[in-house]
Amino acid sequence: MSLRPAFVIHRVSEITLDWLKKENAKGLLIDIDNTLTPYHSEKLPDDILNWLEMLVSEGIPFIPYSNARAYRIDNFCKRFNIKNPGIAVKPLNLQLGKILKQIGIPKKNLLLIGDQVFTDSLAGKFAGLRVVLVDPVSTAEFPATKVMRKIEHLVGRHRWKFDRIDR
C-alpha cells in the first residue's frame, strides 16, 4: 500500500477556488500545527491568513482537524468563529463522526489537509477522505515529530512529486 496521499503540494495557500471546484471539494478539514502555523506559534503567515479569509469570503467551510493542545484549537476556532470540534486524535479519527456532522458535507466532497504522513495522510486513508499533504510551515518540531520525519523519509515521502495547482 502506498502511503502517498491524493495530493502533494508545498503550501495550503497554493490551493485555488478553481481547483477546489475542479476536485468537487466543498469543505476542508485542516490540521493546524505546521500546516497553518509554525511550531509553537499561533501566528498565521500572511499568505495563509489571506487564504483562510478567502475561504471565509467564498463561503467554503473549514474545521480544524488537529491533534494540537485544546487551547490552540480553541484560539483558532474563536478567530474564525467556528464551533470547536475538539482534538481529532489522528490517525484514529476518534472525533471524525462528530466533525462530519458539524461540517455537514459528505466525505467525497471533503479534503483533509495536513503536513504529516503518519497522522494526516494515514487518518485520511483510514477514514476514506482525500488528503492534501503540504510541506511543514517551519522546520522546528516536537522531538517525536522529528522521529516521524525520519520514518516519513523511509517510506519515501521525499520522492513524492508535487502536484501542480495552477493559480
Which residues sit at the interface with Mg ion, rule CB under 5 A?
31, 33-34, 115
Q: Which is nearer to Mg ion, 36 or 110 (CB)?
A: 36
For residue 85, say if its preceding peptide bond is cis, omega within 30 degrees of 0.
no
Quickly count: other Cβ atoms within 10 Å of residue 9's Cβ.
18
The DSSP bridge partners found for residue 130 are 111
Q: Which is nearer to Mg ion, 148 or 165 (CB)?
A: 148
Q: What's the min distance (Å) between Cβ of 63 and Mg ion?
A: 15
Written as one string, the DSSP assignment of 17-34 is: HHHHHHTT--EEEE--BT
Angle at 140 between CA 125 and CA 96, to 5 degrees: 25
Q: What's the min distance (Å) between Cβ of 134 and Mg ion?
A: 9
Q: What's the min distance (Å) between Cβ of 35 and Mg ion?
A: 5
Q: Which is nearer to Mg ion, 33 or 152 (CB)?
A: 33
Q: What's the min distance (Å) between Cβ of 166 and Mg ion?
A: 26
Taking the C-alpha atoms of residue 73 and residue 86, their distance in angstroms, rounded to an integer, is 7
Q: If you ran DSSP here, which 8-state letter would residue 75 be given?
A: H
Q: Which is nearer to Mg ion, 31 or 152 (CB)?
A: 31
